[in-house]
Structure 1
Amino acid sequence: MPGRDPVLRRKRKKFSWDKTSAILTLVPSLILLGVFVYGFIGWTGWVSTTAWNSIIPDFASVGLRNFKIIFSTFRFQSDLRNMVVFTALFIALCLVIGIALALLIDQKIRAESLFRSLYLFPMAISSVATGVVWSWLLNPTTGVNLILKSLGLNHLPEWFLSTRILPGTPLGQIEIALPLALLAVLIAAVWQMSGFAMAVYLAGLRGIPEELKEAARIDGAGPWRTFWSVVLPQLKGTTTTIIIILTAASLKVFGLIYAMTGPGQDFVTDMPSMNMFDTTYQGNQFAEGAAIAIVMLILIAIFIIPYLISTLKQGEEA
């Protein structure tokens, strides 16, 4: 009988042991993940519905009152404006610069590895160190602004500390548009992360079959036509991946802004992450800080969950 075959029994026993050992290996990680990630997310969500807004814990339920409070404040409204403007410009600039650099490197240039390393180098620097360096470069009395002053552009050095909103359309308690001082943070963030977009795009370009490009050239397509009609459509998945990762990074940006400008006058460079830190650890308003954290979590989930679902569907179809 096959079931009595000693070789088959040993194989079944080995498979059963391998399966058990694999499960046992994952159990500690799953426990830690459940406690320190999902457990604390649940705890934060619960705290956001309590009255714990002092140094003394108060777990009396207040429903969504903390969310109503934060959305009605001038600072949080400014945070949402800054976050939307920063995220949109940050992603757009990183995509454009990233694909431009990737296309240049993909031309089989000399010292390709050197250029790749140079473009990726800013990612190796911590966001705090990046913020400190760029705050010196863009400070009105040092760095780049000294060059601007020497060229007679005396009206430009103050933009780093400006509270102007361009063009400035009133909405609620704030003005909707681009805070001029936010450009400083945007420059530093794009400098640091455009190399990441370059690396991902370069991997995507190297994955496009050369036969597709050759067929387009045979059909008479020039370089630009080949790029728009053949190369760019093949990079759709790559672009989506970059957008998702950069969106998550921009929504939770903290160290860079904290080191460069802080919240800024009139909160022109403030972000929800900095607001949450100040509200929770400086103001001891733990419930309101937890509410801000939950809003950030929801915003990140809005972008990431659809991406994960589409990725799973593509995996099943493959």
Structure 2
Amino acid sequence: MNWLKNKDTLYGFLVILPSLVLLGIFVYGFILQTFYTSLTDWGRDPAQALSANPQIRFIGFENYRELFTGFVDARFRQDLVNTFFFTLFFILGCLGVGLGLAIVLDRSPKGEGFFRTIFLFPMSLSFIVTGTIWRWMLQPQGGVNQLPTLVGLPKGEFAWLTSREQIWQVSWNDLPFLTALVVSAVLVFIALGAFRNGERRRGFIASGSTALLLLWAFTLGRTLQPLPYDEPHGFNLAFIGIIMAAVWQMSGYTMALYLAGLRGIPEELREAARVDGASEWQLYQRIIFPLLAPITLSAMIILGHISLKIFDLIFAMAGADNAPTDVPALLMYLTTFRANQIAKGAAIGMILLLLVAAVIVPYLYSQLKSEVRR
């Protein structure tokens, strides 16, 4: 039996070996190559970048230092801020709209199948098609700006995709302090969850880490200045239209997830809560929303992954050269293939990879850990 088992294991390994080799070469091999390229000066000299045999020097993390503290790379830092706000409002919008639509459809209204199809249809489109449609609608001289004229009002003047106005500005020099506060909030959430699940050791570790991080933030974190001058960054109002288009396309996805979760809750559980005197709001607050928490987490991971890599929607709606609506993925394209700064473009790509990994890896770890416990 052991011989047969070992033989099956060997056959299984041989079957997946070609896939492992191809994965190692074309995924992880290229990631390592990109990382090495980001540590060189490839592209600093235009003649070197276009040469058939470029003379490349190893310069370490100089490209990364310039991106975060260099005078000429302020656009990259604004792109990171744009990505933060886009991710935040994109996720909140998709979750809110998707949950609302799911709750309405869960009540089985007339024409449920028709409305479900209508709400899911935008998801079947590519971001290029969505961007083209919404670009037509958000033209400053037409589209939604013309709607007030239908009731005799002056046309709107909002520059949907070209506005350079910023709100909620913060200085880049406050980044270490703000990052420490965000990480502290996440650690507090982890500590509360650990204590709630009876994992006291994990809870105490998270609580201690939070205390040390806050102590650092309010002492050394306040004095750490990445730049020798003040550089404000904020939320560009030009992103409002892009966020609306992205939410319109992906809210059907969250609606489908939430609707499946709502339909999976036993009706007996709802009836028991009503018999105990729970109001409709208490039913959702105490029973339904907690049961939908795993779906919310999964949706947040997928939507966060999409938002960090967003490229095609913004390219179609605002173009590649519109700085107010720039994001790291678009800047990586411009830096690498227009400016021919190969190494700096590779550095932007590696930063994007780390941002995506920061979202995906903890989720995968928690899922694998829960499966092992089962």
TM (norm. structure 1) is 0.90
User: 2:301·2:360 contact (CA, 8 Å) conserved in 1?
Assistant: yes
Partner Cα distance (2:21, 2:148) in 1:
56
CA deviation vs aligned residue, 1:183-215 (integer Å, no higher than 9, x gap): 111011000101111111111212223232222
Q: Alpha carbons of 1:111 and 1:283: their partners in 2 closer, same or farther (altered >3 Å)?
A: same
Q: Which sections of structure 1, spanning at least 5 residues, go unmatched?
A: 1-7
User: 2:169·2:234 contact (CA, 8 Å) conserved in 1?
Assistant: yes
* 1:293 to 2:290 alignment: no
CA deviation vs aligned residue, 1:130-184 (integer Å, no higher than 9, x gap): 1111000100122222223455344534343211112444546653332111111
1:242 equivalent among 299, 309, 320: 299
Partner Cα distance (2:313, 2:90) in 1:
13
Partner SS, residue 61 of structure 1: coil
Show the 5 A alignment for 1:116-195. Answer: 116-150=116-150, 151-171=152-172, 174-195=231-252
Partner Cα distance (2:284, 2:321) in 1:
42
User: 1:49·1:64 contact (CA, 8 Å) conserved in 2?
Assistant: yes
Q: Which amino acid aligns with 2:115?
A: F
User: 1:149·1:157 contact (CA, 8 Å) conserved in 2?
Assistant: no
Q: Which sections of structure 2, spanning at least 5 residues, go unmatched?
A: 44-48, 174-229
The alignment-based identity, stated in percent, is 41
Cα deviation, residue 109, structure 1: 2.4
Partner SS, residue 156 of structure 1: coil
* 1:60 to 2:61 alignment: no
Partner Cα distance (2:299, 2:26) in 1:
27
Cα deviation, residue 228, structure 1: 0.6
User: 1:51·1:58 contact (CA, 8 Å) conserved in 2?
Assistant: no
Partner Cα distance (2:133, 2:50) in 1:
36
Q: Which amino acid aligns with 2:62?
A: R
Cα deviation, residue 123, structure 1: 1.2
* Residue equivalent to 2:224: none
Partner Cα distance (1:70, 1:153) in 2:
44
Partner Cα distance (1:153, 1:27) in 2:
66
Partner SS, residue 152 of structure 1: coil
Q: Which amino acid aligns with 1:124?
A: S
Across the two proteins, how many residue pairs are aligned to each other? 307
User: 1:185·1:257 contact (CA, 8 Å) conserved in 2?
Assistant: yes
Partner Cα distance (2:293, 2:35) in 1:
35
Partner Cα distance (1:263, 1:180) in 2:
17
* Residue equivalent to 1:5: none
Partner SS, residue 162 of structure 1: coil
Q: Which amino acid aligns with 1:64?
A: F
Show the 5 A alignment for 1:244-263. Answer: 244-263=301-320
TM (norm. structure 2) is 0.77
